[in-house]
Amino acid sequence: MYTRIQVVFDAADPARLADFWGLALGYVQEAPPPGFASWEEFARSINLPAERWGDQASAVDPDGLGPRLYFQKVPEGKVAKNRVHLDVRVATGLKGEERTQRIEAHVACLLEAGASLAWRTDNQLGQAVVMRDPEGNELCVC
């Protein structure tokens, strides 16, 4: 049996986080269901109140290989360290300066998109840059 998963993020601004993680992972915003030109049109069809239209967003792997990312609006902010985080593996198989350059280029892109730097590590286990997305969720670029 094959089970598909999705990764769910609690968010203050679901659309902004969907855009950020789309950039981080090379994902795209999920298209509305078949027969609907937009998510707004879909929301109207299920009688979702207008004030709730931005309460969720999603991003998907354009190749259909990675899990769907779903972002749901919650009233409270993040208050503690994540128990789970995503590793954004942009330099798999690379070594030395080429690896460092690939990681640093992606870190710069994510910083420009609203991420913040937490710390860096470079030890016998490998090189990684620990970051926080625009709402404080941890991720590693490695």
pLDDT value of residue 27: 97
Residues 62 and 96 in one domain: no
| In the chain, beta strands by DSSP E | 6-11, 28-29, 56-60, 68-73, 86-88, 116-123, 126-132, 138-141
Domain range for 91 is 86-141
pLDDT in tens, 54-90: 899 999 999 999 999 999 999 888 888 777 889 999 9
- Residue 94 inside a domain? The answer is yes
pTM across the whole model = 0.82
Question: Look-up: residue for tokens 């710069």?
Answer: 108
CATH number for position 44: 3.30.720
> Mean pLDDT in runs of 10 for the chain (142 residues)?
79 95 96 91 87 91 94 86 86 90 96 95 79 95 94
